[in-house]
Amino acid sequence: VPRDKNPHGQYFTPAPVARLMRTLLTTASSGSVLEPCAGEGVFLDVLASSGFTDVTAVEIDPLLVAASTHDMTLGSFVSWSPPRSFDAVIGNPPYIRWRDLDETSRTEVQAHPLYKELFNSLSDYLTVFIAASVDLLVPGGELVFITPSFWMHTEHSGPLREWLLTKGAITDIIDFQEASVFPGVGSAIVIFRFEKGASTDTIRYARYQGPRRLEGELDLGNQKLFFQQEIDAFQPKEHWSLASPLELTDAMNLERICTEKEEVVRLGAFVDIANGMVSGLDKAFRIPAELWNSLPTAERAASFEVIKAAQIEPYVSTSLTRYINLPTGMTKEVATQRYPNLVAHLTQYREALENRYAYQRDLPFYEWAFKRSEHFFLNDTVKGFVPCKERLTSRPEARFTLASGAVATQDVTAFATKETVRESIAYVVAYLNQPLVTKWVRTRGLMKGGVAEFSERPLGNIPFRTIDWENPKEVAAHNAIDSAMRALLTATPGKRHAVIASIEKQFSSLLR
């Protein structure tokens, strides 16, 4: 958001989120609470309805102060010096990068006693709010804020993190990851509770795993919405990691296994990765069974098989969907003459097809909108496929699959081994289905609100277990996995399980 559109970093907290944050407060309702940037007063509403009466609020925007039914002090929190401390601070501080801050606010930040020690001209405005709020807490007081999570790991927030650990401890974290908490804000969001003067060994950690767009009440006890566990407390001079020790160990384990010459070997160096082709209207191009059965051979040849994300099964997939694929560049007359049945079928959707996004070309209704990576797909090499987005809250492992002769559309990412690579694509796919790989993806991959994203970069980042071709045992394991994968392509459903077990057994020695 350009600075002139939102100079004060105004993103208002949805009421269910404010209520959730209120449950982290341990201060009794007789205690004193500060809301340092009250906005429309959602926290003031929540505090009032839980019986809090000693509530102080500050807000810089005169329009919001005037519109509020609550008492708010008009002014900037950064230069505000109240004559008292507070038992609790709760709120959602403004996030504004230094370069987007107006001159007055910059001068104010520079005049703050903690400027230079804790923040500087690389810091975000929110770090000032965190530090200044902690300063105003009584011993034993608590701070509950919702913020983007970047300050927990960026380098220039290091001094603030170290300072916080000398003043007390983070006791609770609710991690929304990339779920959309504030409409229009793309950052990963966390709620945290800090207690002044406390020390702790563990942090109560809850990871949100509900729908990407929050809906309804957010009850921490709801196991569908939150996965709760304890993680190690943050330590001075160490990274603040939000993964559980177990998850981290798994991810680090895989990286160790895949390390050669002190570097983690990554999949991107071994496979070419392609996004799927775009028909622009899948339902028109899909060939219904009745039509297929009645098609002459010449028309059948103008089709290919597509693998849809929903059809992807781990290891190998055999159920594919036939799509129309007429040669490009034909006039309508030629197309109709050569492919009468297919063109007749597409004609039923003509209006919608003509309204497709045309990628800046003259797009006949009977052609695909964008045959992205056409040469990659339309050759005989066997490929691996993965859904572009895989929800990992409802399944234990991401699905990677081998499918021969299949084309991907936008919902699926495809990959094929580079020419010089000795590991077979079947081996690569089998490897990616190992639980350790998904464990790595969960903590180190690109996760957005419980959904793993497999576009080129994140897929290419996955550590890869190469085969040591000098080691006969490893070569044998590779070849056994490769033939088991081929057997799976034709195995009856009853046999599938045993074959997969044999593959997993091979990997149990390779992934040690």
Ligand X SMILES: C[S@@+](CC[C@H](N)C(=O)[O-])C[C@H]1O[C@@H](n2cnc3c(N)ncnc32)[C@H](O)[C@@H]1O
| Residues of this chain that bind ligand X (CB under 6 A) | 8-13, 37-40, 42-43, 58-61, 64, 76-78, 91-92, 94
Q: Is 199 left (phi over 0), alpha (psi -120 to 50) or beta?
A: beta
> Residue 161: CB partners within 8 Å, gap ≥ 6?
151, 152, 234, 240
Q: What is the 3-state secondary structure (H, E, C) of 116-165?
A: CCCECCCCEHHHHHHHHHHHCEEEEEEEEEEEEHHHHCCHHHHHHHHHHH
How far apart are CB 143 and ligand X at their closest, in Å? 13
Nearer to ligand X, 174 or 346 (CB): 174
The CB-of-17 to ligand X minimum distance in angstroms stands at 8
Closest to ligand X by CB, 25 or 243: 25
Contact 481, 506 (CB under 8 A): yes
Shortest Cβ distance from residue 224 to ligand X (Å)? 25
Q: State which residue, 121 or 319, has the beta carbon closest to ligand X.
A: 121
Least distance in angstroms from the C-beta of 227 to ligand X: 25
Give the residue with the Cβ less far from ligand X, 40 or 162.
40
Q: Which of 245, 242, 240 is nearest to 152 (CA)?
A: 240
Task: Find where tokens 């767009």 sit.
Answer: 213
Tokens of 301: 């040849």
- Whole-number minimum distance, CB 87 to ligand X, in Å? 18
CB 24 within 8 A of CB 91: no
The amino acid that residue 492 corresponds to is T
CA distance 292 to 121: 65
Supply the minimum distance, in Å, between the C-beta of residue 290 and ligand X.
56
d(CA 414, CA 436): 21
Decide: 149 and 195 in contact? Cβ < 8 Å.
Answer: no
Please state whether beta strands 189-196 and 137-148 pair in parallel, antiparallel, or not at all (unpaired).
antiparallel
Partners of 408 in beta bridges: 307
Closer by beta carbon to ligand X, 45 or else 232: 45
Minimum CB separation of residue 6 from ligand X in Å reads 9
Closest CB to ligand X among residues 77, 315: 77
Nearer to ligand X, 32 or 92 (CB): 92
Nearer of residues 42 and 143 to ligand X, judged by Cβ: 42
> C-beta of 112: minimal distance to ligand X in Å?
11
Q: Least distance from C-beta 20 to ligand X, angstroms?
A: 12
Q: How many CB atoms lie within 10 A of CB 507?
A: 20
Between the CA atoms of 160, 165, 169 and 175, what dihedral angle is there, to the nearest 10 degrees? Answer: 40
Q: Say if CB 407 and CB 382 are below 8 A apart.
A: no
Cα–Cα separations (whole angstroms), residue 509 to 406, 491, 502: 32, 24, 12
> Residue of minimal CB distance from ligand X?
39
Nearer to ligand X, 92 or 279 (CB): 92
- C-alpha distances (whole Å) from 481 to each of 137, 166, 254, 423, 503 are 60, 53, 19, 11, 6
Q: Which is nearer to ligand X, 38 or 388 (CB)?
A: 38
Cβ of residue 33: shortest distance to ligand X, in angstroms?
13
